[in-house]
């Protein structure tokens, strides 16, 4: 086989390997991003496993083939760049000295993959800032492990991604601000007075007035979640407390009161000083007694009865 053919084969193997592993990295990034893994963990796994381990597992990485690697690595000093085939003329006798059943073409393929992975590793590390922003944006449409710009900031793609990341942060910040503005239980105005006046009765039966003041009561049920540190501390059985809250929810006294929001707010605290979770809401309500329902119905009437007249 002519040496020219070896050179052409090497280039084909190299390009094929480079494209194959670059696509693997891209797909691995997308997969890990889709399930919520962190970018740093994903990046480190690619560097240490997909690139490094693949490289060390190649036949050409074994000690007995080190002279072939060394010879090829010194190609710039051993051959003139105008004669790219010449290095393979020098590699063939080095290979023939090795006692192996592996063919020269197979070694050539491994050598090409070895150097493709080395190039991939260098480019991947240098372009990490770009891939980190793609990961943040969850957009890998322009993902390539290609030649890098030096300095990296001169790369037009990084400038584009910076703008997209800044815009994303701006939208997220605006959304967070808007969420904080409306994040309350939205007490129906027609029940506002009667519900607040209910504090006196509740402090007799189910709320601990030593830990929950009238101000706390108003804050929890009427203010935005992030504007205060108030909580409602119950001094009754959890079944009665959660049944009351669920009844208030069902009567549409609030427009935005749900079990999920109450649980996430962590503003409703049981007798044992634990905030009610969504699971505890469901379990306690299911296990409540007729007596519990009777007490809750009487309390609810204090709120809605004046509006029925």
124 in the same domain as 9: yes
Higher pLDDT, 96 or 195: 96
161 domain-assigned? no
In this prediction, residues 281-292 reach a mean pLDDT of: 84
Q: Examine the fold and report which residue of 113, 147, 181 is the final residue of a domain before the chain moves on.
A: 147
**Does this model's pTM top 0.85?**
no
Structural domain boundaries enclosing 236: 189-308
For residue 99, count CB atoms less than 10 angstroms from its CB and return exposed for 0-12, middle for 13-18, buried for 19 or more.
exposed
SS3 268: strand
* Structure confidence by residue, pLDDT tens digits, 156-175: 888 888 888 888 887 777 66
253/257 Cα distance (integer angstroms): 8
Q: Is 144 helix (H, G, I), strand (E, B) or coil?
A: coil
Task: Give the Cβ contact number of residue 218 at 10 Å.
Answer: 16
For residue 72, pLDDT over 60 is answered with yes
What is the residue-averaged pLDDT of the chain? 86
| Domain presence at residue 154 | no
Q: Give the span between the Cα atoms of 63 and 159, in whole angstroms.
A: 44
Is 216 part of any domain? yes
Average pLDDT (27-48) is: 91
- How many independent structural domains does the chain possess? 2
Same domain for 131 and 254, yes or no, is no
Q: How far is CA 201 from the centre of its chain?
A: 46
* Lookup result for tokens 């905030």: 275
Is the pLDDT at 210 greater than 50? The verdict is: yes
Secondary structure in 3-state letters for 159-196:
HHHHHHHHHHHHHHHHHHHHHHHHCCCCECHHHHHHHH
Integer angstrom CA distances of residue 60 from 63, 89, 92, 114: 8, 18, 14, 7
162 in a domain, yes or no? Answer: no
Asked whether the predicted pLDDT for residue 181 surpasses 80, the reply is no
Residue 112, pLDDT above cutoff 70: yes
Residue 305 has pLDDT above 80, yes or no: no
Q: Which of 105-114, 117-126, 139-148, 281-290 has the highest mean pLDDT?
A: 105-114
3-state helix, strand and coil shares in percent for the chain, rounded to the nearest 5: 70, 5, 25
The answer to whether 106 and 7 are in contact (CB under 8 A) is: no
Q: Are residues 118 and 252 in the same domain?
A: no
Q: H/E element holding 242?
A: helix 238-250
Q: Give the residue from 147, 180, 215 where a domain finishes.
A: 147
- Whether 309 shows a pLDDT value over 50: the answer reads no
Q: How confident is the model at residue 176 (pLDDT cuts 50, 70, 90)?
A: low
Considering the domain architecture, whether residues 202 and 264 belong to the same structural domain is answered as: yes
Query: Does residue 203 share a domain with residue 80?
Result: no
Render pLDDT for 288-299 as a digit per residue (tens, 0 to 9): 888 888 888 888
176 against 84, higher pLDDT: 84
Higher local confidence (pLDDT), 120 or 309:
120
| Kind plus residue range of the DSSP H or E element containing 296 | helix 290-308
pLDDT of amino acid 187: 86
């Amino acid at each position: 086989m002519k040496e020219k053919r070896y050179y052409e084969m090497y280039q084909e193997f190299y390009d094929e390997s480079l494209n194959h592993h670059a696509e693997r990295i891209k797909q691995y990034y997308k997969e890990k991003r889709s399930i919520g893994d962190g970018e740093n963990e994903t990046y480190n796994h690619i560097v240490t496993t997909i690139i490094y381990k693949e490289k060390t597992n190649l036949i050409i990485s074994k000690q007995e083939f080190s002279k072939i690697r060394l010879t090829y690595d010194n190609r710039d000093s051993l051959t003139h760049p105008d004669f790219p085939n010449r290095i393979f003329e020098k590699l063939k006798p080095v290979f023939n000295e090795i006692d192996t059943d592996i063919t020269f073409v197979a070694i050539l393929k491994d050598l090409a993959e070895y150097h493709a992975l080395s190039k991939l590793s260098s480019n991947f590390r240098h372009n990490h800032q770009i891939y980190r922003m793609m990961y943040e944006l969850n957009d890998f449409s322009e993902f390539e492990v290609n030649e890098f710009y030096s300095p990296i900031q001169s790369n037009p793609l990084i400038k584009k991604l910076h703008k997209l990341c800044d815009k994303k942060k701006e939208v997220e910040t605006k959304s967070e601000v808007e969420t904080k503005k409306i994040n309350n239980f939205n007490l129906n105005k027609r029940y506002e007075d009667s519900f607040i006046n209910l504090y006196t009765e509740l402090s007799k039966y189910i709320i601990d007035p030593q830990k929950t003041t009238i101000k706390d009561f108003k804050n929890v049920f009427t203010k935005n979640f992030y504007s205060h540190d108030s909580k409602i501390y119950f001094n009754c059985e959890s079944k009665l407390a959660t049944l009351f809250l669920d009844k208030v929810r069902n009567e549409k006294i609030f427009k935005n009161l749900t079990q999920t929001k109450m649980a996430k707010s962590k503003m409703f605290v049981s007798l044992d000083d634990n905030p009610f979770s969504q699971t505890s809401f469901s379990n306690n309500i299911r296990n409540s007694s007729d007596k519990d329902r009777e007490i809750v119905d009487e309390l609810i009437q204090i709120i809605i009865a004046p509006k029925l007249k």
